[in-house]
Chains A and B, each alone.
Chain A
Amino acid sequence: DAGVTQSPTHLIKTRGQQVTLRCSPKSGHDTVSWYQQALGQGPQFIFQYYEEEERQRGNFPDRFSGHQFPNYSSELNVNALLLGDSALYLCASTWRLAYEQYFGPGTRLTVT
C-alpha cells in the first residue's frame, strides 16, 4: 500500500524565482491538502484540493497556487519567492475531504 509521496525532497531557489512541488496521495485517497511548516512551528494549512478544485484556502497570498490532476496527484506552485517562504512543505491526503489524514515526507525549500 503506497503512502503519500512528495518530490523533490530538497530544493534551493533564489528570491524572485518560481517553484513547483509535487505530491501523490496515498492509494485510495482523493483529497490532497498542502501545509507549510516554518522552523519551530506547527504546520499551517495552505489549501485543499478535491475533485480537481480548490475547496478551502488558508491565510496565504495568491503567490501560492495549486492544481489537482485526474489521478488525484497535486502540485503546489509558489511565484516570486521570498526569503520567508523557506520552510518544510507537507502534503496530506485523505478520502472524501475528511477522516484520518496521512502526510508525506515533505519538501524542504530554502530561498536564498
Chain B
Amino acid sequence: GIQVEQSPPDLILQEGANSTLRCNFSDSVNNLQWFHQNPWGQLINLFYIPSGTKQNGRLSATTVATERYSLLYISSSQTTDSGVYFCAVEDRGSTLGRLYFGRGTQLTVWP
C-alpha cells in the first residue's frame, strides 16, 4: 500500500507561534485529508485537499500532488491547537475509499 510519512513527529511551541507540518506520500492519490485528534480520540476533519490550497481561519493547507506532498500551516497557535495531527491519503489504485494514515505529528502549545 501507499506509504505516508509525517514530519516532524513532535513539535513544541509557545502560544502565538506559527508552524508547518509536512506529509509526504509515495504514490498518486485520489484523496488527502488532514485531521486533528483531540485528547479523547476524536478525529476532527480539518481539510479535504487532494490538490491546491485551502484556508480556514488560522489554518491553511497546500497539496502539491505532482510532487507528492502536503503542508498544514497553523498560524498564531493557541493551547487548544494541542493534539495529534494526522495526514491520510487514498491512493488511485483499487483501494477506493481506504485511507492510509501517517504516524502523526504531536503538537504541544504552551501558554
Instruction: Identify the A interface with B (CB < 8 A).
Output: 31, 33, 35, 37, 40-45, 48, 50, 55-56, 58, 88, 90, 92, 94, 97-106, 108
Contact = CB atoms under 8 A, between A and B. Distances in A.
A55 B45 contact: no
B100 interface: yes
A42 B23 CA distance: 13
Interface string B61-103: 0000000000000000000000000101010000111111111
Measured as residues with beta carbon below 8 angstroms from the partner, the interface class of chain B is 20 to 34
B31 A98 contact: yes
Interface in B4-54: 4, 30-31, 33, 35, 40-43, 45, 48
Contact of B97 (A42, A90, A98, A102): A98
B98 A90 contact: no
Contact of A102 (B30, B45, B95, B98): B45
A55 B41 contact: no
A75 to B, nearest CB: 19
Contact of A99 (B4, B31, B104): B31
A41 B103 contact: yes
A42 B30 contact: no
Given A92-B99, A98-B97, A103-B43, A42 B31 contact: no
Given A43-B43, A45-B100, A56-B96, 12 more contacts: A37-B41, A40-B103, A42-B4, A42-B86, A42-B104, A45-B98, A48-B98, A56-B95, A94-B97, A101-B97, A103-B35, A103-B45
